[in-house]
Structure 1
Amino acid sequence: MLTYIFPGQGSQARGMGADLFDAYPDMTAKADALLGYSIKELCLTDPRNELGKTQFTQPALFVVNALSYRRRLEESGKRPDFVAGHSLGEFNALLAAGCFDFETGLQIVKKRGELMSQADSGAMAAILNASKDQVEAILKDAGLDQIDLANYNSHSQVVISGAVDEIEKAQHCFKGNMMFYPLNTSGAFHSRFMAHSQKEFTAFLAQFSLGAPQIPVIANVTARPYEDGAVADTLARQIAGMVRWCESVEYLLQLDPAMTFEEVGHGEVLAKLVRSITQHVRKHAPAPVAAAPAAAAPIAPAAARPRVDAEQVVREWNSKYPVGSQVRSTMQGYDALETRTEAMVLFGHRAAVYMKGYNGYFDLTELR
């Protein structure tokens, strides 16, 4: 299976999108009109040194990510099985999943950037070579209860966010090979200190009609697929909630240990995190347990066993049943279901389809 991942704030750099703006003049013009300035000029030359400011960074990344996704689809023709984004990047994941159009998404991101840029208190810092549990224990032992975990990026990279004085005190708590890096931010993003911004953002989102994802989107705040009817609420919670990136990647690897991740946007920030998480998961995976020898009927020779061609089953299903088909499951307790995606082959052999509401896969052999 394939997951497209979209980077967020911190991946920006002058010159990003250089080969995209002229290639897609329609979207570039729409961005300029909505933002009131040249997105191409901001990203390529940044004459007023604004690219590093949150209210400019977020729209710039959203546009570059969106143009990158459009090019990726045109060049590869590959439709992802899942999408995910890191913080701001999650808005591009929702765009890719059809929850809103480009202009609506940019309008929402513009407001988000403005609200977050107004946060004038609080600080953030990245902790390297320390696990999430270690960071939480160290902060608790030091009595630093005005600090939240903002980003759980990997098994050895955590970002903390909170009161300025406590972030400064925390610097002296991480010793040995643990490294502490203060971040250049205007506020304590993804923490309880963003509650007011979250409230304003929730009110702003209320004016939009956001559709259900047509591709499963992994939410930062839950590390699970978005639930139907909860797009706006989940997005609003993200401002003050922890970005559970490591858990999101782990969840996708549980669905398919051979999951392919492709970063769409500028840089390779997320690709590097995914490699680190994947290596950790594989290194600490439990050893397979040998199955006990069967004492029942002898196993038929391979040539005598019926073989199910999953790809053929998927093709036949998709030719008959469009996304949104009403189905029933032979499993007790799942009478009325609606498909949310086309059918696909999981794990190289299982023909399955993703269900709306249930937010999970059902084997096609279980459906009627």
Structure 2
Amino acid sequence: MRAFIFPGQGSQAKGMGKELFDKYPELVEKADKILGYSIKELCLEDPENKLNNTQYTQPALYTVNALSYYDEVDTSGEKPDFLAGHSLGEYNALLAAGCFDFEAGLKLVKKRGELMSQVKDGAMAAIMNSSKAEIEQILADNNLTNVDLANYNSPTQIVISGASDEIAAAKSVFSFGKVLFYPLNTSGAFHSRFMQESRDKFRTYAKRFKYAEPQIPVISNVTAEPYKEGELITNLPEQISSTVMWSDSILHLLSIDKDMEFKEIGHGNVLTKLVAGIKRHVKKEQQAQAQAQAKNNTRTEPVKAAEQAEPTAQPKAAAVSHDSVVEKVKAWNAKHPVGTKVKSSMPGYEALETRSEAVVLFSHRAAVYMKGYNGYFDLDEIQAL
């Protein structure tokens, strides 16, 4: 299976889309009429240094992402099995899924960028090599109460967003060991509680448009799951002030197909690098769990002679069927809601809390995602408290 993923704000650069504007002149002309300026000039020359300003960045990225998608489809003749986009990029995923046309999407993005750019006195920073639970604890211990977790980009990269003074103060408390702190060049505290006014205004504007249900599954930033019927008008405004669940979105796709092919559509390779990091983390988790399980299964007693029969005399273990795993997942979800407290049989993980419904992972594992741990546990390894 294959997923197309579209980048968002932060991937822009002067010169992006150079080979595309002349290839799709009609769409470029429509964009210029909607925006009131030359999108080609903004992206290729940026004479007034506006490309990094949110209200210009978002329409520019949306346009380049859209032209890149049309070019990919025109060239290859193939469409993806799944779609996802990082923040602004989700609009391109929904465009590709047939939820609205190019013009409607650009109008939505233009308004979104304008509203988000009006929010001042906020800042954002990326925290590297620290977990969600650790970040939340450090923020609480240092009384940084006006900071939210904005982006779960990968298990080792989380973005915080909030009041400018508290983001500045966070630099010193997140500079230890392998933990790194990177201030981001943004004009506001995006994807945080400080965007609620922009969210509400955008919701009012978004109701002017008609939307179709996705023709290709689109993973929502808000839920990290495919859009359900009727969710679009709810999730798009909510996305402005809620956490971007990017890492969980990729994990969801990998749970559908462990060999999922990801192709970044647009400028740069920011998302390609994040996906590679998420895959490495999943592999390490699997290795660690396998080692822990092997350790638990190691028998300390001598093997009795009666247990040393010829292998041919022993019945072969039945392969776990996909249907049985699906039933196990259904049974768990029917009985245990998200947020259930559990304990694990693995040492060191006695107190956990689920942060998702159980899913069929890699076609043969019944697993559930754990809050704070940033990883999946097999249902056979845990017990509800």
What TM-score do you get using the length of structure 1 for normalisation?
0.78
Name the amino acid aligned to 1:280: H
In 1, Cα distance between equivalents of 2:93 and 2:133:
29
In 2, Cα distance between equivalents of 1:123 and 1:201:
21
In 2, Cα distance between equivalents of 1:155 and 1:69:
28
Moved more, 277-286 or 25-34: 277-286
* C-alpha spacing 1:127/1:298, structure 2 compared with 1 (3 Å): closer
| Structure 1 match to 2:84 | 84
* C-alpha spacing 1:14/1:229, structure 2 compared with 1 (3 Å): same
In 2, Cα distance between equivalents of 1:251 and 1:226:
13
| Structure 2 match to 1:5 | 5
Name the amino acid aligned to 2:152: Y
* C-alpha spacing 1:293/1:242, structure 2 compared with 1 (3 Å): farther
2:230 corresponds to 1:229: yes
2:243 corresponds to 1:242: yes
In 2, Cα distance between equivalents of 1:210 and 1:295:
60
Matches within 5 A, 1:277-356: 277-285=278-286, 286-287=289-290
Following superposition, the deviation at residue 297 of structure 1 comes to: 10
In 1, Cα distance between equivalents of 2:157 and 2:144:
19
Following superposition, the deviation at residue 137 of structure 1 comes to: 1.6
Moved more, 114-123 or 94-103: 114-123
Name the amino acid aligned to 2:275: V
Task: Count how many residue pairs are aligned between Structure 1 and Structure 2.
Answer: 304
| Structure 1 match to 2:155 | 155
| Structure 2 match to 1:15 | 15
In 1, Cα distance between equivalents of 2:70 and 2:103:
14
In 2, Cα distance between equivalents of 1:298 and 1:60:
57
Following superposition, the deviation at residue 88 of structure 1 comes to: 0.2
Structure 2 unmatched ranges of 5 or more: 295-310, 319-329, 331-361, 364-385
Structure 1 unmatched ranges of 5 or more: 300-330, 332-346, 349-368
| Structure 1 match to 2:199 | 198
Deviations 1:200-245 (A, max 9, x none): 0000011111111111100001111111111011011000000010
Deviations 1:42-96 (A, max 9, x none): 0000011110100000000000000000010011122111000000000000000
| Structure 1 match to 2:129 | 129
In 1, Cα distance between equivalents of 2:239 and 2:312:
49
Deviations 1:275-329 (A, max 9, x none): 0001110221243999x99988999xxxxxxxxxxxxxxxxxxxxxxxxxxxxxx
| Structure 2 match to 1:115 | 115
* C-alpha spacing 1:296/1:159, structure 2 compared with 1 (3 Å): same
3-state DSSP class of the match of 1:65?
helix
Deviant stretches of 4+, over 2 Å: 286-290, 292-299
Name the amino acid aligned to 1:233: T
| Structure 2 match to 1:35 | 35
| Structure 2 match to 1:61 | 61
Deviations 1:126-154 (A, max 9, x none): 11121222211211221211110001101
| Structure 2 match to 1:344 | none
Deviations 1:5-63 (A, max 9, x none): 00000000000000000011111111011111111000000011110100000000000
In 2, Cα distance between equivalents of 1:130 and 1:101:
40
In 2, Cα distance between equivalents of 1:269 and 1:153:
10
* C-alpha spacing 1:215/1:122, structure 2 compared with 1 (3 Å): same
| Structure 1 match to 2:180 | 179
In 2, Cα distance between equivalents of 1:236 and 1:126:
23
Moved more, 216-225 or 165-174: 165-174
2:264 corresponds to 1:260: no
In 1, Cα distance between equivalents of 2:258 and 2:282:
9
Name the amino acid aligned to 2:62: F
In 2, Cα distance between equivalents of 1:295 and 1:69:
56
* C-alpha spacing 1:33/1:276, structure 2 compared with 1 (3 Å): same
| Structure 1 match to 2:350 | none
3-state DSSP class of the match of 1:275?
helix
In 2, Cα distance between equivalents of 1:71 and 1:257:
27
Moved more, 221-230 or 57-66: 221-230
In 2, Cα distance between equivalents of 1:156 and 1:284:
13
3-state DSSP class of the match of 2:290?
coil
* C-alpha spacing 1:141/1:76, structure 2 compared with 1 (3 Å): same
* C-alpha spacing 1:144/1:74, structure 2 compared with 1 (3 Å): same
Name the amino acid aligned to 1:75: T
In 2, Cα distance between equivalents of 1:163 and 1:52:
21
What TM-score do you get using the length of structure 2 for normalisation?
0.75
- Fraction of identical pairs, as percent: 58
In 2, Cα distance between equivalents of 1:294 and 1:22:
72
Name the amino acid aligned to 1:287: A
| Structure 2 match to 1:144 | 144
In 2, Cα distance between equivalents of 1:245 and 1:197:
22
Name the amino acid aligned to 2:250: V
| Structure 2 match to 1:251 | 252
Name the amino acid aligned to 1:7: P
Alpha-carbon RMSD: 2.5
In 2, Cα distance between equivalents of 1:125 and 1:84:
23
3-state DSSP class of the match of 1:93?
helix
